[in-house]
Amino acid sequence: MILVGSSVVAGKIMVEELPVQFASALRFALALVILLPLLRMREGGLPRLSRRSWLILAVQGLCGSFLFTVCLLHGLALTAPSSAGVITATTPACMGLIAWLGMGERPTRRAGLGILLSVAGLLAVNAASDPGTGSMPFVGNMLVLGAVCFESFFLLLRKGVTEPLTPLAAATAVSLFGLVWFLPGAAWDLIFTIPASGGFGAVSVVGWVSVAYYGVFVTVLAYLFWFAGVTRVSAATAGVFTSVMPVSALILSAAILGESVGLSRIVGCACVLAGLVLISRR
């Protein structure tokens, strides 16, 4: 979740330099250059799964790789990052609600308290943020809210695959589907959008570095870490750990983009960490 939180900073830089669809397809192509040879070397290739499991992975790629990325990056282009941070604070509550209503995982008292503490901490983190306006704040906020919903489904759908599936195989499959979902839009950007905006010569080194970071760290490493952990914990526990994402975005925004960090944000970070400790204790 620390790496996923860094995607807010990297994504803000990336959408200013490259079209969303093309940059995202390039990100997954780069990730697959790393994942496919590694999977072939360690496990002999893609696993044999049932049609139902492949369908779940395809939907997971649609929700988490395609729809989440499109909504978040387009939302960041239209609204203030602080507003987006407030909305992403609802991720743990959204996951807990989905797990309760759709998966039958009634949260324990300790898990419920951990969720509330984490959400309260995240709201405190963003309480003193300058709300900003953005060019189309309402549309941008709705896109970020959609990204939260799609991310929640993505984070929980992995538990629906019943066959043994290693984190490496899961990350490779989801990245493969992510590339497939982005290819049509990437082709459009390559033919029409990029030439109209000055071609690749208008893209700075920072823009290319942000794409590379997205592919290696936010895709390869973050997927491997998440898939290795999500099958070992309950949905409520996984939901609380998503609280780290906006906190990570806050810290990296301060370090890289120069945003100020006030007392309320420090208190919010402390609440989030307390929630993580509470929910992770047996």
Percent of the chain with pLDDT over 70: 83
Percent of the chain with pLDDT over 90: 31
Give CA–CA dist 17/208, Å, rounded.
Answer: 9
| Domain membership of residue 119 as a residue range | 2-280
Do residues 211 and 27 touch, judged by C-beta distance below 8 A? yes
Residue-level pLDDT at 103: 66
Q: What is the mean pLDDT of residues 199-208?
A: 92
Give CA–CA dist 105/222, Å, rounded.
Answer: 25
Give CA–CA dist 70/143, Å, rounded.
Answer: 9
Q: What is the pTM of this model?
A: 0.81
**Tens of pLDDT along 61-111?**
999 889 988 998 888 888 766 667 667 767 776 777 777 777 666 767 777
φ/ψ region of 167 (left if φ > 0, alpha if ψ in -120 to 50, else beta) reads alpha
Considering its fold, how many domains does the chain have in total? 1
How does residue 132 score in pLDDT terms, banded at 50, 70 and 90?
A: low
Give CA–CA dist 169/257, Å, rounded.
Answer: 35
At 256, list the tokens.
């890289």
At 107, list the tokens.
């949260």
Q: What is the mean pLDDT of residues 112-141?
A: 70
Give CA–CA dist 134/88, Å, rounded.
Answer: 17
**Tens of pLDDT along 3-58?**
877 887 888 788 889 999 999 999 999 999 999 999 999 999 988 889 999 999 89
Residue 239 or residue 87, greater confidence: 87
